């Protein structure tokens, strides 16, 4: 018992020191990159036919928050990774927007992405949303809100999202202002949003995954978990606090391997965009030959993995 206690205390001390050592680099790097908060690092050329991933940042942040995480996330097994800016300013929330207003911004971004895929003659059928902190609430608001020509959500992945509010927010956030009121534990608007998200989950209309950390003092696991989720859809470790998770390579790999890859689909080419028969009056065989030649420039079809989860000690 004593030995186990010493091991546990030593491990927690190591994690705490690691977090303290990492935080200055995370904050300074984010502040520096925020100078270019409007600069997008989205791919310039659409060539992958896999389900794209859209990363949605948290409160008082911008898309550069994902600078390292998206590098760790990307590989040939998943689709293109995109980011979106929710606020006009680099490090301050727009005080006139709630979650539904932010969801409209996400919708506009997805429409832009869909048009880019269409221009590349690819039929973008769905998207995977990844939200950090407030970004998870925004992603949830998009999933439950009705839009014209809405892009279906293949999976919703949330990282340290205050689904049940935050005790810290009760003391430091104004519960009468938006979007801050959503972070308080007694927020009626947030509870209503959570119920709508869970309703879609119960009806098997939405796949949800949730990550939390016991070292996150801002949004501990009890407040970040959707308690109705299956255990295999929830992962809790003790590696990070609320901010250092954005610089954790192993967490990014875990999310990609176990949650993104199994939900990645291979899109078909949009033959209507070729318009070969109308423009050149050629037969169906020529159309198929053209598609086959184009496919040679794409990577081979990825076989989704079974989704078996790795153990915590592998992280």
Strand spans (E) along the chain: 53-56, 81-84, 127-132, 153-159, 208-213, 234-237
* pLDDT at residue 173, rounded to an integer: 84
Tens-digit pLDDT profile for the chain (315 aa)?
677 777 777 878 888 898 999 999 999 999 999 999 999 999 999 999 999 999 999 999 999 999 999 999 999 999 999 999 999 999 899 888 999 999 999 999 999 999 999 999 999 999 999 999 999 999 999 999 999 999 999 999 999 999 999 999 998 888 888 898 999 999 999 999 999 999 999 999 999 999 999 999 999 999 999 989 998 999 999 999 999 999 999 999 999 999 999 999 999 987 765 554 445 444 455 445 545 545 544 444 444 444 443 444 444
Query: What is the distance between the alpha carbons of residues 92 and 311, in angstroms, rounded to a whole number?
Result: 37
How confident is the model at residue 8, as a pLDDT? 72
By DSSP bridging, strand 234-237 and strand 81-84 are: unpaired
43 vs 71: CA distance, rounded Å: 12
Annotated domain spans of the chain: 2-35+47-266, 270-299
- CB burial readout 227-251, b (16+ within 10 A) else e: eebeeebbbbbebbbbbbbbbbeeb
Q: What is the reported pLDDT for 235? A: 96
- The whole-number pLDDT of residue 31 equals 93
**At a CB cut-off of 8 Å and minimum separation 6, what does 212 contact?**
160, 219, 220, 221, 224, 225, 234, 235, 236
Architecture of domain 2-35+47-266: 3-Layer(aba) Sandwich (3.40)
169 and 133 Cβ atoms separated by less than 8 Å: no
Q: How far apart are CA 229 and CA 212, in angstroms?
A: 13
Give the pLDDT of residue 176. Answer: 81
In this structure, the number of other CB atoms found within 10 A of the CB of residue 280 comes to 10
The SS3 call for residue 165 is coil
CB atoms within 10 A of CB 85: 19
Nearest to 315 by CA among 263, 268, 249, 271: 249
Check the CA dihedral 159-164-167-170 and report its sign: positive
Burial class from Cβ neighbours inside 10 Å (0-12, 13-18, 19+) for residue 60 reads middle
Query: How are the residues of the chain apportioned to helix, strand and coil, as percentages rounded to the nearest 5?
Result: 50, 10, 40
Contact at 8 Å (CB) between 163 and 223? yes
The pLDDT value given to residue 290: 47
CA atoms within 13 A on the CB side of 143: 31
Neighbours of 76 (CB within 10 A): 9
pLDDT at 305: 45
Distance CA 218, CA 240 (A): 11
CB 105 within 8 A of CB 141: no
Neighbours of 73 (CB within 10 A): 20
Are the C-beta atoms of 180 and 173 separated by less than 8 Å? yes
CA nearest neighbour of 203 among 193, 195, 215, 214: 195
C-alpha–C-alpha distance, residues 245 and 315, integer Å: 12
């Amino acid at each position: 018992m004593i030995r186990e206690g010493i091991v546990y205390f030593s491990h927690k001390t190591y994690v705490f020191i690691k977090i303290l050592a990492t935080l200055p680099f995370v904050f300074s790097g984010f502040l520096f990159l925020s100078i270019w908060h409007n600069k997008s690092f989205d791919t310039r050329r659409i060539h992958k036919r896999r389900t794209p991933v859209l990363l949605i940042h948290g409160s008082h942040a911008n898309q550069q928050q994902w600078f390292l995480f998206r590098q760790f996330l990307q590989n040939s097994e998943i689709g293109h990774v995109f980011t979106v800016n929710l606020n006009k300013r680099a490090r301050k929330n727009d005080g006139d927007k709630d979650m539904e207003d932010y969801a409209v911004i996400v919708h506009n971004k997805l429409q832009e992405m869909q048009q880019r895929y269409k221009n590349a003659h690819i039929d973008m059928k769905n998207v995977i949303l990844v939200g950090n902190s407030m970004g998870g609430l925004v992603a949830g608001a998009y999933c439950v809100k009705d839009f014209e020509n809405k892009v279906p959500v293949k999976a919703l992945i949330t990282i340290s999202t205050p689904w049940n509010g935050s005790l810290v927010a009760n003391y430091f956030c104004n519960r009468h202002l938006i979007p801050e009121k959503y972070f308080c534990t007694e927020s009626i608007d947030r509870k209503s949003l959570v119920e709508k998200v869970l309703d879609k989950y119960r009806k098997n209309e939405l796949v949800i995954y949730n990550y939390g950390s016991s070292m996150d003092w801002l949004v501990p696991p009890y407040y970040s978990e959707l308690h109705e989720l299956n255990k295999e859809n929830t992962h809790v470790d003790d590696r990070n606090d609320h901010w250092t998770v954005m610089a954790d390579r192993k967490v990014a790999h875990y999310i990609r391997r176990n949650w993104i890859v199994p939900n990645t689909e291979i899109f078909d080419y949009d033959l209507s965009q070729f318009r070969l028969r109308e423009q050149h009056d050629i037969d169906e065989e020529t159309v198929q030959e053209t598609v086959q030649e184009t496919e040679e420039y794409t990577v081979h079809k990825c076989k989704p993995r079974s989704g078996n989860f790795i153990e915590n000690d592998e992280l």
